Amino acid sequence: MRRAISIAVVCSMIILAGVAASTAPKADERLKGAFRRPAVNGWTFVHLEGTAAQIGYQHGYLLAAEIQDLYFFGRRRKMFCGLTWSRNIVRRCRELSTE
């Protein structure tokens, strides 16, 4: 009797796990129509469409890793060099004007 119960429990757990795995989560409506292609020669192609809010969400979602890298780079640059992006741009413009 115990063996039959344990077999029934194991079988029902396997069936429930199969049903749970087969149900795919719903796709986020804000990502509808958006996609990203792999980087080629340093360029990443993203296709965005929808309202301004949807485009903003798609941009952040699809390029999250790159945005995080840029944020980290900017913070480290400011911490170690004391330069913000605006200071760097002004300095570079001055260098170009004297050439």
The answer to whether the CB of 49 falls within 8 A of the CB of 55 is yes
Computed from CA positions of residues 53, 57, 62, 66, in that sequence, does the dihedral angle turn out positive or negative? Answer: positive
For residue range 1-29, list pLDDT tens digits in order.
777 777 777 667 777 666 555 565 667 88
For residue range 23-62, list pLDDT tens digits in order.
656 678 888 889 999 989 989 999 999 999 999 999 999 9
Which two structure tokens, joined as six digits, stand for 23? 């149900």
Q: Could you give the CA distance from residue 50 to residue 58 in angstroms, rounded to a whole number?
A: 9
Specify the pTM: 0.52
CA atoms lying within 13 Å on the CB side of residue 31: 10
For position 47, what pLDDT does the model report? 94
